[in-house]
Amino acid sequence: MSNATLVSTTVNGDPVQYACPSDESLMTALRNRVGLTGVKEGCGTGDCGACSITLDGQLVCSCLVLAVEAEGREVTTVEGLSTDGELHTLQQKFIDHAALQCGICTPGFLVAAKALLDRNPNPDETEIRYALAGNLCRCTGYDKIVHAVQAAAKDMRKQKRR
Amino acid sequence: MHRKMRVSLSSTFELAGGPGCTVEVHAETIQQMMASLVDRYPDFQRLLDRGVAVSIDGQVFRDDWTQPIPPQAEVFLIPRIEGG
Amino acid sequence: MGHDQKYVDKEYKVVGTRFNRPDGVEKVTGKARYGADASAPGQLVGRILRSPHPHAQIVKINTKKAEKLPGVKSIVTCDDMPDLTGGDQGLADILENCMARGRALYDGHAVAAVAAVDEQTAAKALKLIEVKYKKLPHVTDVDEAMSESAPVIHDRVFTRGVEPAPTKPSNVAARTQMGHGDVDAGFAEADIIIEKSYKTEQTHQGYIEPHACLASVNPDGSADLWVTTQGHFVFRNVCASLLGLDIAKLKVTSSEIGGGFGGKTHVWIEPVALALSRKANRPVKMVMARDEVFRATGPTSSTSIDIKMGAKKDGTITAAVADMRYQGGAFPGNWAMLACMTAFACYDIKNNKAIGWDVIVNRPKVAAYRAPSAPMAAFAVESTIDELAKMVGVSAIDMRLKNVAREGTPAPYGPTYGPIGIEHTLQAVKDHPHMRAKLKKNQGRGVACGFWFNIGGQTCTDLNISVDGTVNLTLGTVDVGGSRSSMAMIAAEELGISYDQVRANIADSSSLGHNDMTEGSRGTFSSGMATIYAAREAIGVLKERAAKMWGVPVDDVIWENGQAIATGEGHGNLPPLSLKEIAAKSGRTGGPIAGHNEVTADGAGMGFASHICDVEVDPETGRSTIVRYTVVQDAGKAINPDYVEGQFQGGATQGIGWALNEEYIYGTDGRLQNPGFLDYRIPVCSDLPFIDTQILEVPNPLHPYGVRGVGETSIVPPLAAVGNAIANATGVRMTHAPMSPPRVLAAIDAQENAG
């Protein structure tokens, strides 16, 4: 590897270091250097959302971010959604509502849906559809995905009230 | 000697009798029918190589040549299809 | 052997309910491993160099500079992939499609490949490979390719199916004709005759996961291939043939598959990755970039279709003729033939004739796409029937019901239909509340029907009972849409145990007998049948073991609700033995308990659907928005309704994308101009409403549960359903799909100008 840069970052709460070429995408670094293959590559051009992560809480396509840009920042991937051995409500609802068929787009949808519910705990159908419009799914027609997000939002609001 | 039966060809298949003809052979299974067709019409092997499925009374059999052919059954040879 | 395939009506405990899929947790946590998610010690990165020309002679390939680049471990061209196909032209075409042999036949055709230590080195090496091309004239349009003046792409191709046999080579690979009756007499009987011409553009399956594999060939001829595929056994056989490997020494493992829809039934990069690995003697991982997926893999045919139909005043269709031109890309295909078989399949038309022309053009080799060839023919036929209904003065549904195919109707491809569900779906549509819902301004409603065959094929399944009473179901058909849950449900149903006790897995190609592809909507039909038989075989063993434990004759043992029960005189007091109790003692009663089945599952039964679509057309922009959509389809029997609905919704959505936006755009230079998801626009979440579904169950007489395939038919009706809705919203008949905003706007403008 020529001209490698050493990057120190935080991934799913843990300190992580990797060395990467300056033109490598964060998606590639997360997949190949950090071992988080839940970050999926569908296009590499920011059109499909399969590589969605949050960077300091902001939803981004990790294929459009350079790996070196993660320096000093907080990265969350689908692997960071479930905690203490329990599935996140969104994850459980995706399974319960059969919101995945092949599942390749699922990590990106979950990250995007969580980003939506973090800023808007009670989105209507249209808001959900527009918030997820950057994530392509070819199997489901989105029907069961939207239902799953609606159900998760409802449960998460209940959990908060408790 | 097996039972005499009639087999019709889908119009995309051509045999001695022209496209879509009906021919008579002696057979009681798909296997026997195919064998006697090859026997009678050497050209038939070419069709087989392109892919042939057998419809018996409206049910399509692509692969299973052990299927019995009931007396009086309607038997059609149609192209062997695949899917997506 | 000896299992009864016939449908038996019975009550189910597990089948027909909804369970979570066994692979769900791994897929929502990111743990599931897809094609690009595997790695091997010492693996190299493989990349392919592709032709920028639609048609060119490859004069010379100079790899010397690339070979000298440090980190480059192997480079292959067609010279490293000798033709071992032994006169099998179909296989030779696959080989040539994987790696050009002297000629590049389309923009994106593989010309050379490199394996290097990392991505950067591989990319650099590709730039150092010098290819000298001599450009040749090209043709990408299906109608142009048929003209006398078109460049002939293969001088070995002579049109099949025409008399007298042609003496000159042609881009028309074959002519097909289907149908019955006398269409001239039929048109003479008609009071109304309509003639219309249609075009549909080329679309791609659009799976989100690009093709990916990890190949490792050893010097002793043994090899491993990890790959995203719809059929790892078929991939194994094809790759072994192309590479000259022994089939049993090539172990192919199917990864989780990120969508296929027919596009992952064909090999592209896999033989190349194996060839690179063999030359480098190291594992090679190859992942396609999205633009490679669009340029080189997948697509379905673009088409040009003429329809002529005649009807009596009472709506009876007396004659129908279709002339259909389908391009199959740079190699001969049989796509127009499939169109001939499906075009009029929903109807009982006394005199019908479908003629198909399979045409070769300088585009990627066409691959199956969900009910291949049927959606385009249905677009033409179903649009024409709507126009005919208007001329007759009956509703679109009544027109269809008047002419609908039933049990006893001769199918256009010859045989007489058994029990089929098209009339049921139409009647359900007629009765559906959606049909009575009010439409707003600029909105219109359309209906359309669709047909697909469904297939069976070779299947091999193992069922092993563990000592704790849990069950491993080992399947060989790749799970593309949730079939593992359906198979586990079937095993649980047969054994009389709970769904949670069964774990379904997909085995690699060395662990089971051959299984055909998951294609043709066969997965649940055929693996389901093998699972039923394997479970019944296991029950036979369980009964024997129970008989041994009790010391009674096995004939006195029956299996009910997951337990063995002793019947007959003198055994009445024996308490039942559960599967768990028998399994716990299996080591002492004869060893492990298993059931196994290999079957050629035939008789998959026909799939029919009718769809309702409401669309709103913006008269200012020509943009069409789907405001409501309903799918009604015959499933025979829905094992897990969640995933049957999922198939209906997904297929409908792909059809909607095709109807409204998706198309390959080639420039006059013969290059694909939109090889990315930004410009090749598939439907996104905000484009769609909820897709309503209604599952009908007209049992398939040749499946123990009545199952029919459900995966494909749902993509057939949408093009016409959308087109018919647009016609009803605007008064404009769209004859060119996709019905994108510029096309719809131009059609509206043309109508207004015509006054």
Q: How confident is the model at residue B60, as a pLDDT?
A: 85
Checking if the pLDDT of A121 tops 90, the result is: yes
Checking if the pLDDT of C147 tops 90, the result is: yes
Residue of B60, B61, B66 to mutate, interface with C, max C Cβ within 10 Å: B60
* C chain contacts of residue A2, beta-carbon cutoff 8 Å: 120
Checking if the pLDDT of A95 tops 70, the result is: yes
Q: Which two tokens stand for residue C641?
A: 């309704």
- Measured between its terminal Cα atoms, the distance across chain C in Å is 69
The dihedral built from the CA positions of residue C148, C153, C156 and C159, taken in this order, carries a sign that is: negative
What is this structure's pTM? 0.96
* A chain contacts of residue C649, beta-carbon cutoff 8 Å: 140-141, 143-144
Q: What CA–CA distance (Å, rounded) separates C48 from C292?
A: 9
Determine, for residues A128 and C690 on separate chains, whether the beta-carbon distance falls below 8 Å: no
Structure confidence at residue C1 as a pLDDT band (50, 70, 90): very low
Checking if the pLDDT of C11 tops 90, the result is: yes
Query: Which residue in the set C414, C455, C701 is minimally distant from B10, CB to CB?
Result: C414
Identify which of C397, C443, C322, C451 has the alpha carbon closest to the alpha carbon of residue C722: C443
Q: What is the mean pLDDT of chain C?
A: 96
Q: How confident is the model at residue A44, as a pLDDT?
A: 97
Q: What CA–CA distance (Å, rounded) separates C279 from C705?
A: 50
- At residue C110, φ and ψ (nearest 5 deg) are -65, 135
Q: How confident is the model at residue B15, as a pLDDT?
A: 67
Checking if the pLDDT of C747 tops 70, the result is: yes
Determine, for residues C415 and B67 on separate chains, whether the beta-carbon distance falls below 8 Å: no
Residue range C266-305, pLDDT digits in tens = 999 999 999 999 999 999 999 999 999 999 998 999 999 9
Q: Which two tokens stand for residue A45?
A: 């051009």
Q: What is the DSSP string of C100-157?
A: -SSEE-STT-EEEEEEESSHHHHHHHHHH-EEEEEE------HHHHHSTTSPPS-TT-
Task: Out of B33-47, C444-458, C704-718, pick the least confident.
Answer: B33-47
- In the sheet with C351-359, reading across from the earlier edge strand, the strands are C172-180, C351-359, C317-327, C303-311, C192-200, C736-737
Q: How confident is the model at residue B17, as a pLDDT?
A: 60
Checking if the pLDDT of B83 tops 80, the result is: no
Query: Which residue in the set B60, B77, B82 is minimally distant from C368, CB to CB?
Result: B82
Residue of A48, A129, A138, A146 to mutate, interface with C, max C Cβ within 10 Å: A138
Determine, for residues C415 and B82 on separate chains, whether the beta-carbon distance falls below 8 Å: no
Structure confidence at residue A2 as a pLDDT band (50, 70, 90): low
A71 neighbors A29 (Cβ within 8 angstroms): no
Q: Which two tokens stand for residue C335?
A: 């796509």
Give the number of other Cβ atoms within 10 Å of residue C185's Cβ.
12
Residue range C214-265, pLDDT digits in tens = 999 999 999 999 999 999 999 999 999 999 999 999 999 999 999 999 999 9
Residue range C706-737, pLDDT digits in tens = 998 899 999 999 999 999 999 999 999 999 99
- Check if B16 contacts C (Cβ < 8 Å): no
The whole-number average pLDDT for the span A106-129 is 98
Determine, for residues B12 and C178 on separate chains, whether the beta-carbon distance falls below 8 Å: yes
Checking if the pLDDT of B51 tops 60, the result is: yes
Share of residues in chain C with pLDDT > 70 (%): 100
Buried/exposed code over B51-79 (b: 16+ C-beta within 10 A; e: otherwise)? ebbbbbbbbbbbbbbebebeeeebbbbbb
Residue range C340-389, pLDDT digits in tens = 999 999 999 999 999 999 999 999 999 999 999 999 999 999 999 999 99
Q: Which amino acid is at C743?
A: R
> Which residues are CB-neighbours of B23 under 8 A, at least 6 positions away?
B6, B7, B9, B15, B16, B17, B37, B40, B41
- In the sheet with C284-287, reading across from the earlier edge strand, the strands are C72-76, C110-116, C44-50, C284-287, C212-217, C223-227, C250-254
- Report the complex ipTM: 0.98
